[in-house]
Structure 1
Amino acid sequence: MKTDFSIPRRQNLRGILVVFLMDLVKSLRQNIYVFLPLLSSNVRENHLGKVFIVLAVLLLLQMLYSYKSYLNFKFHVQNQRFLLKQGVFSFKDTDIPFDRIQNININQNLIQQMLNVVGVEIETAGQSTAEIKIKALSREVAMELKEELLKNETSIRSENREIIENSGNLENDLEDHLQSEADHKTQHNNLASKPSLLFNLNIWELLKVGISSNYLKGFGLVIFFISTIFQYLEEFFASFYKVDFENTYLTQLYQTFTFLVGFIIFLLIATFIVTVGRTVIKYYGLQVTKKDNDYEVEYGLLKRVNQIIKKNKAQVFEIEENPLKNLFQIKNVFISQASSQELRDKKKIGVIGISDANLNILFTSLFDLNYPQQFVNFKSSMRLMFRLSFAYVLLSSLIATALFFLQGWLFSLVILLMLFSVFGFIVYKTVRKSHIGVNENLIEVQSGSIHTNKKYIAVHKVQSISIQRNFFQQKNQHADLIIYTASGKERINYLKLEEVLLLVNYLNFKVEESELGWI
C-alpha cells in the first residue's frame, strides 16, 4: 500500500531507540572530557558511586530529550513542498519547494542496520541549515518518499502560466490544458522504464579497486599509528635485526640497512592492508541502477549509502585512473552535484571500478556526448615546479631535522635523499599532467601525479571565471585560472596569460550564447 505523505507523520517507531542511541553517541563525542576525572585513582576510590549516579541521571535526561525529539518530529508533503516541524525546547518549521531539492540520500549506519531502518538526507540549493535528516524510516517508506520528492513539476507549472497568459478564453484553455497534463502524466507513467541494474561489484572486483587505490591516505593512517607505538617497534626491530640504537650507525652499517629494508617492507604491507580494507568496507556491495535518465548508486558495509545521480543536477564528472587501474581495465568516477556550499570529496557520489563500456554509458547519459572527447589543450608552465617544490622541500627538511635528533645524521640523510627523490618525481609528473582543454560543449581539467584525475564540466554549467596573479606571475606573464560551478571551483595553475585571456573570452561567450541553464 502506497504511503500517503499528505498526512503529517512521525518516523518509524524504532526511531525512538535510533534517535536516543545516535544522540547518545553524539553527546559522548562532544563531551568525552567529562570522563577524564575517572583517570584519577582518588576519584575512583572515593567518588565512584557518585559518578555513576550522575551518569545515570544524564542518561535518563538524554532518553527523555530523545523521546521528546522523536514525538515532535513530523513531516508531510503538500502542494509540491516538503514540510517539517521539529524541536524540543524551541520549534522549527521548514518549508522546501521540490524544485529546490538537489539530492536525496538514503543511508544506513550500524545502529540503523541493527534496527532495520534507514536514514534519509535531503540536500537543497539554499542555505546549509535547510538540509533535512530523517533518522529512522523503513526502507519501503524511504524509497516512496524519495520518489515523491524527486517529482519536479516546475516546467509544467511554467507551461501552465504561459498558456493561461496567452489565452483568449481562460476557462476553456485551462480546462483543456489540465486534461492534456493528465494525459501526459498517464502516458509518462506507462512509458517510464523500470529500474534496471547497470552493474555491480563482486568481492574480487572490489579488491582490484582497493589494490589500485590511492595509498597516500592509507600511508598517513599507518604513520599516525606507528608514531604512537614507535618505541615498541624500535625495540622489536632492534631485537629482530640485532641493531644497537645506542651505538653509531656507521659501526653497524649492515644491520642498519637490514633494519631500514625491514621497516619499509612493514610500512608497505601495513599500508596495503589498511588501504584495501578501507575500500572494501566503504564500497562493499556497490551497485548502480538505471531508471530513465537517472542513476541510483548504493554501497557500504558498516554504513549503507543510497544516492541518486540526476542529469540536471550534475556539475562535475571526474574520472580517476592510474597505471594499476589501467592494468585492471577499470576507472573510478565521481559525480559532483549542485550544492549550497563548496563540495567536499566525501560528499561526491562515487562509482568505482567502472569499465570503459559503462563509463561511456554514464558519460553519454549526463552530457549527451560520447567518451572520450577531443579538446584544444592549454598546459601549465614548468614554472609551476618552483611553487610546488617549495612546500615539499620545507616538509622534507622538517622531517629530516626531526629524525636527526631522534636517530642521528646518517638515518636522517638517507630519508632526506629518499624524500627529495620521491617528491621531485611527484612535482615533475604533477606539472606535466596539469592542463585545461576546451571544445564546443565541454571543459576538461586534468591534474594528478601518479594518479590522473580528469574533470569534465559542461560549458553552460559555468557560473563564473576569475584570474589570479601573484607578484612573480605579473613579472613573467602567467596566471592561475579558476572556474566556479554550483558544486565548487576548479583551479588550473600557471597558464600563460595570453592563453588565460583567450580562454576567459571564449568561455564567457559560450556561456552567454547558451540557452541551457546550470541546473
Structure 2
Amino acid sequence: MKSDFSSPQRQSLVGVVVMFGDTLQSTLRSLWPFLLVWAFRINQMNRLYVVTVIGAALILTAVIAYLKFYNFTFFLDEDNEEFVIRKGILNKSRIAIPLDKIQQVNINQSLIQKFIGVHSLEVDTAGSSKKEVTIKAITHDLALSLKERLLESEKNYTGETEATDNSRRDAAHPYISISFASLLKTGITSNYARSFALLFAFVITIYQNIEDYFEGEGYENDPLDEYVNGEVLIKFAAFIALAIIVLTLLVNLSRTILKYFGYTITLQNKSLLLSYGLLNTKNTIIRPEKVQIVAVGRNYFQKKMDIQDVRISQASNNDDAKEQQKEAIEIPGCSEVEKDELLTFLLGQVPQKGEGLKPNIRKIILNTVRFIIIPLALYFVFAIWFYNELFEYMIFLPLYLAFIISMIYFGYRNSRLYSTKDFIIKQSGAWDVDNEFLAPHKIQAVRLTQYFWQKKANLGAIKLYTAGGNLTFSVADYSRLKELANYWLYNVETTDKNWM
C-alpha cells in the first residue's frame, strides 16, 4: 500500500524524544562556559535552588521540543511538484523544494533513534552546500516510501510509479556484502599514520606534564633520574612504542567496526543502496551518473589479504576540497572481485592503465626541502635560542628522518598519471597507494600552472576540476601536460556524454 504524502503530516509521536535530545544538546553547547563556572560553585549554592533550576530548564526544554514537533509538518505538492516543509515556533517558515532539484535523500539512524524505533531523513538539493531539510523522526517504511517519491523525476508519478512499484521492489537484491572478517582486516591495516601520530602526541604530552609536575613541586632533580640509565631508557622507549602500536590497532579496529558494521550494498533501480553502521546506521544511494571520481586504495598488508578500500565522490555543490573528501562514500574491505564489480557498475568497465607520466626527480628535492630541511632548521633555531629543552627530544630525530625519507622516496616512486581514451588515472601515495579514476567527460575545468623558476626546466602542474573533487599532478613535464589538457578538453567538447 502506497503512502499518501499529499496532505500535511507530522513526524512520529515518539520523535518528541529526539527533539528533546537535540534541543538539550544544542542548549548545553551554547551555554557550556556558564555551566562550567556554575559546576565549580555548586557546593556553595542551595541544593533546593539547584534542583529547581535544573527541573525548570528540563521542563522548558521539553515544552520547546514538543512545540518543534507539533509545528513541523511536511507534504508533497503534486500540482507544483514540490516538497513542502513548515516549521518554527515563534518565527514560522515554509520551505518549498522543487522535486527536480533534489539530488540525494539519505536515511540515517542514531543510537537514540534505534532505541525508540525511528529514522531520520535528510534531503540534499542542488545549489546548497548543506542538507536542505532533515526529518528527525520517521518510521522506516514511511522513510523508504518518501525517499522513493522524492527521487522520482517523472511528472506523471501517480500513474507510472504505481505500475512499476512492485517490479522495482522485486528487482532489489543484495549486490555486495562486506563480511565481518573483511572489516577486521581493514581495521588492523588502515589509518596507521593518523592514529599513531595522535597517540604519540598524547604520550609526549603526558611525559611533559610529569616533568612540569616535578618541577612545580620544587624538585631540583627529577626523582626518576637516579633510576634511569641507557638500558632502562631503551626498554621504556620500546615499551611505549609497542603500547602505541597496540593502541593504534585497537582504535582503528573499533572505529572501523562501529562505523561500517553490517555493510550491505543492494542493487535497486539501476542504483546502489548502501546501508551500514553499528550504533549510527546510515543509508544512502549511489547513482552511476552522479559519480565523478572513484578511488581505490590499499597498502602492502591489504594487498596480501586481498582487500582494498573504495572511495566514491559524487556530484556536490560544496566547493571546499576538505568538505568534498568528507562527503565521499567509503566502501571498506572489498575483495578484488568485489572491486571489479563496483567499478564495472559505476564506470561501465574496469579502467586499464595506459601511457604513464611520472614526476620529475626535482619533486624529491622539493619534498626534502619542505619536510626535512625546513623543519630541522626551525627545530634547531628554537632549541638553540628559545627552548633548550627541545634538545631532550633529539632521540626521536633518527626515527623522524627514517620515516620522512621513506615516505618521500616511495611517494615519488608511486606517483604516476595515466591517460587512456576512456579514463584518467592518478596513482599516488607512499604506504597507502591510491588509484583515482576519472572519465574525461566529467571534467568541468582544467588549470595548468608553471612558476617562473620552473620554466627553464619545463616543469609545471595540472589540476582537473570536477563536481565531486579535484585531481592534481605536479612537478611534471609541462609540454606533455599541455598536450594532455588539450586532448581531454577536446574529448569534453566532442563527446555526447553528460557529466551528470
Report the TM-score, using the length of structure 2 for normalisation: 0.88
Q: 1:383 aligns with which of 314, 337, 362?
A: 362
In structure 1, what is the Cα distance between the partners aligned to 2:164 and 2:114?
Answer: 38
On the 8 A contact 2:168/2:269 being kept in 1, the answer is no
Amino acid of the structure 1 residue aligned with 2:401: F
Q: 2:193 aligns with which of 208, 216, 234?
A: 216
Amino acid of the structure 1 residue aligned with 2:364: M
On the 8 A contact 2:182/2:334 being kept in 1, the answer is no
Hey, what does 1:134 align to over in structure 2?
Answer: 135
- SS at the partner of 2:171? coil
On the 8 A contact 1:200/1:288 being kept in 2, the answer is yes
Hey, what does 2:216 align to over in structure 1?
Answer: none
Q: 1:368 aligns with which of 348, 367, 388?
A: 348
In structure 2, what is the Cα distance between the partners aligned to 1:87 and 1:397?
Answer: 57
Q: 1:388 to 1:101 in 2, by over 3 A?
A: farther
Hey, what does 1:426 align to over in structure 2?
Answer: 407
Hey, what does 2:16 align to over in structure 1?
Answer: 16
In structure 2, what is the Cα distance between the partners aligned to 1:459 and 1:189?
Answer: 37
Cα displacement (A) at 1:247:
5.7
- Whether 2:79 is the aligned partner of 1:100: answer no
Q: How does 1:305-324 map to 2 (within 5 A)?
A: 305-324=282-301
Q: How does 1:20-419 map to 2 (within 5 A)?
A: 20-41=20-41, 44-46=43-45, 49-79=48-78, 80-129=81-130, 131-153=132-154, 186=163, 190=167, 194-230=171-207, 245-246=224-225, 252-341=229-318, 342=320, 343-369=323-349, 371-393=350-372, 394-395=374-375, 409=391, 412-419=393-400
In structure 2, what is the Cα distance between the partners aligned to 1:471 and 1:494?
Answer: 13
Cα displacement (A) at 1:377:
1.9
Amino acid of the structure 1 residue aligned with 2:106: N
- Whether 2:450 is the aligned partner of 1:469: answer yes
In structure 1, what is the Cα distance between the partners aligned to 2:144 and 2:264?
Answer: 16
In structure 1, what is the Cα distance between the partners aligned to 2:398 and 2:467?
Answer: 43
On the 8 A contact 1:127/1:340 being kept in 2, the answer is yes
- SS at the partner of 2:124? strand
In structure 2, what is the Cα distance between the partners aligned to 1:396 and 1:6?
Answer: 67
In structure 2, what is the Cα distance between the partners aligned to 1:228 and 1:39?
Answer: 27
On the 8 A contact 1:218/1:271 being kept in 2, the answer is yes
Q: 1:299 to 1:25 in 2, by over 3 A?
A: same
On the 8 A contact 1:397/1:416 being kept in 2, the answer is no
CA displacement, residues 108-130 of structure 1 (integer Å, 9 cap, x when unaligned): 11111111111111112212256
Cα displacement (A) at 1:91:
2.6
- Whether 2:416 is the aligned partner of 1:435: answer yes
Amino acid of the structure 2 residue aligned with 1:478: L
CA displacement, residues 292-350 of structure 1 (integer Å, 9 cap, x when unaligned): 42111111112111111111111111111111111111111111111110343332111
Q: 1:247 to 1:191 in 2, by over 3 A?
A: closer
Hey, what does 2:476 align to over in structure 1?
Answer: 495
Q: 1:357 to 1:233 in 2, by over 3 A?
A: farther
- Whether 2:483 is the aligned partner of 1:484: answer no
Q: 1:511 aligns with which of 465, 479, 492?
A: 492
In structure 2, what is the Cα distance between the partners aligned to 1:402 and 1:17?
Answer: 54
On the 8 A contact 1:10/1:70 being kept in 2, the answer is yes
In structure 2, what is the Cα distance between the partners aligned to 1:182 and 1:92?
Answer: 32
Percent sequence identity is: 28
Cα displacement (A) at 1:189:
6.0
On the 8 A contact 1:313/1:337 being kept in 2, the answer is yes
In structure 2, what is the Cα distance between the partners aligned to 1:22 and 1:466?
Answer: 44
On the 8 A contact 2:122/2:131 being kept in 1, the answer is no
CA displacement, residues 242-280 of structure 1 (integer Å, 9 cap, x when unaligned): x9753697xx22222212211111111111111111111
Q: 1:216 to 1:117 in 2, by over 3 A?
A: same
Cα displacement (A) at 1:58:
3.3
In structure 2, what is the Cα distance between the partners aligned to 1:445 and 1:435?
Answer: 6
Structure 1 unaligned segments of length 5 or more: list them. Answer: 158-180, 236-242
CA displacement, residues 425-463 of structure 1 (integer Å, 9 cap, x when unaligned): 101211222222221121112211100111111211111
Out of 61-70 and 50-59, give the one that drifted further.
50-59
In structure 1, what is the Cα distance between the partners aligned to 2:2 and 2:143?
Answer: 11
Amino acid of the structure 2 residue aligned with 1:374: K
CA displacement, residues 347-375 of structure 1 (integer Å, 9 cap, x when unaligned): 21111111111211111111212x24132
On the 8 A contact 1:297/1:351 being kept in 2, the answer is no
Cα displacement (A) at 1:87:
2.0
In structure 2, what is the Cα distance between the partners aligned to 1:72 and 1:187?
Answer: 35
- SS at the partner of 1:88? coil
Amino acid of the structure 1 residue aligned with 2:92: F
Amino acid of the structure 2 residue aligned with 1:386: I
In structure 2, what is the Cα distance between the partners aligned to 1:140 and 1:419?
Answer: 54
Q: 1:23 to 1:46 in 2, by over 3 A?
A: closer
Hey, what does 1:163 align to over in structure 2?
Answer: none
CA displacement, residues 473-505 of structure 1 (integer Å, 9 cap, x when unaligned): 345322221111111222212222101211110
On the 8 A contact 2:124/2:130 being kept in 1, the answer is no
Amino acid of the structure 2 residue aligned with 1:507: W
On the 8 A contact 2:416/2:428 being kept in 1, the answer is yes
CA RMSD for the aligned pairs?
Answer: 2.9
CA displacement, residues 144-182 of structure 1 (integer Å, 9 cap, x when unaligned): 11111121227x99xxxxxxxxxxxxxxxxxxxxxxx96
Amino acid of the structure 1 residue aligned with 2:470: K
Amino acid of the structure 1 residue aligned with 2:474: N
Hey, what does 1:166 align to over in structure 2?
Answer: none
On the 8 A contact 1:396/1:420 being kept in 2, the answer is no
- SS at the partner of 1:422? helix
In structure 1, what is the Cα distance between the partners aligned to 2:18 and 2:477?
Answer: 56
In structure 2, what is the Cα distance between the partners aligned to 1:395 and 1:307?
Answer: 43
Q: 1:455 aligns with which of 422, 432, 436?
A: 436
Q: 1:192 to 1:299 in 2, by over 3 A?
A: closer
CA displacement, residues 49-89 of structure 1 (integer Å, 9 cap, x when unaligned): 54544444333333222222212211112334322222223
- SS at the partner of 2:289? coil
Out of 400-409 and 501-510, give the one that drifted further.
400-409
In structure 1, what is the Cα distance between the partners aligned to 2:183 and 2:383?
Answer: 38
- SS at the partner of 1:301? coil
